Structure 1
Amino acid sequence: MTINQLGKKLEDMYCNAQKGNAVAMIHVFGITYAKEIKEGNYSKKDIIKVSGIPSSYLTELTKGIKLAEYVVPKK
């Protein structure tokens, strides 16, 4: 995936989250796409910027990527 595709996917997941689950969806995004982010050596800050979500959510994205070592999302 490109950084633009990752940013768009994050935007979609965040904006289409059920009420009260937007931050959880940032975590799920980080868990789901951690491998692509790491292998592509993409900046988390740049992904947030491309997505258009508030930059204050960088910490939440970082948490999701770290969680990927321990959990997998349900289908």
Structure 2
Amino acid sequence: MSETEAEIDVQFTGMLWAVRKKMDDDRLLQAGRDADLLEPMHEALLEFGSLWARLEARNGPRTLDELADELKRNYLAAEARGEMAASIHLFGIQYARQLREVTPEAVLARADMKATYKTELRKGMKLAEYVRIKEIEPK
């Protein structure tokens, strides 16, 4: 079960406050080598790193190459099921924000896919304003 953006944001904010509280602790400043203070700080930073990784995963691919690789991977996986157009629509929904920063044409060219698929990507981008992708069990 995936976490919603709001749940991750609440956890992220809580973690920031916890780290700040530990960093503001006068005892930490006075006894920087005190293991009983450094251990909780270390644990908080590990937890923060884990949360940061989940936030990064939520945001998906960031570069043109990452987007192209993800699109191609999704397309090839859908090809066996005959659901190529649907996979492109879903990609457009899922990564609409990132696709607006580059262009569908650039992603398709980098993925070595037909330029005519830009229409399908744009359909997905438009649908992103109205729908959310639900997680489903693999077939």
TM-score if structure 2 supplies the norm length? 0.50
CA shift at 1:37, angstroms?
A: 2.0
Q: Which runs of 5+ in 2 are unaligned?
A: 1-61
Tell me which residue corresponds to 2:69.
Answer: 8
Which aligned runs of 4 or more in structure 1 are off by greater than 2 angstroms?
Answer: none
- Residues 2-59 of structure 1: per-residue CA shift (max 9 Å, x gap): 0110011000000111422111000000000012222xx2011000101112111110
Distance 1:74 1:20 in 2: 20
Aligned-residue CA RMSD in angstroms? 1.0
Where relative contact order (Cα < 8 A, 6+ residues apart) is larger, the structure is: 1
In the TM superposition, 1:1-75 aligns within 5 A as 1-17=62-78, 18-38=80-100, 41-75=101-135
Distance 1:7 1:19 in 2: 21
Give SS of 1:24's match. Answer: helix
* Paired residue total: 73
Distance 1:62 1:33 in 2: 11
**Which segment is superposed worse, 3-12 or 52-61?**
52-61
TM-score if structure 1 supplies the norm length? 0.90
CA shift at 1:74, angstroms?
A: 1.3
Percent identity at matched positions? Answer: 37
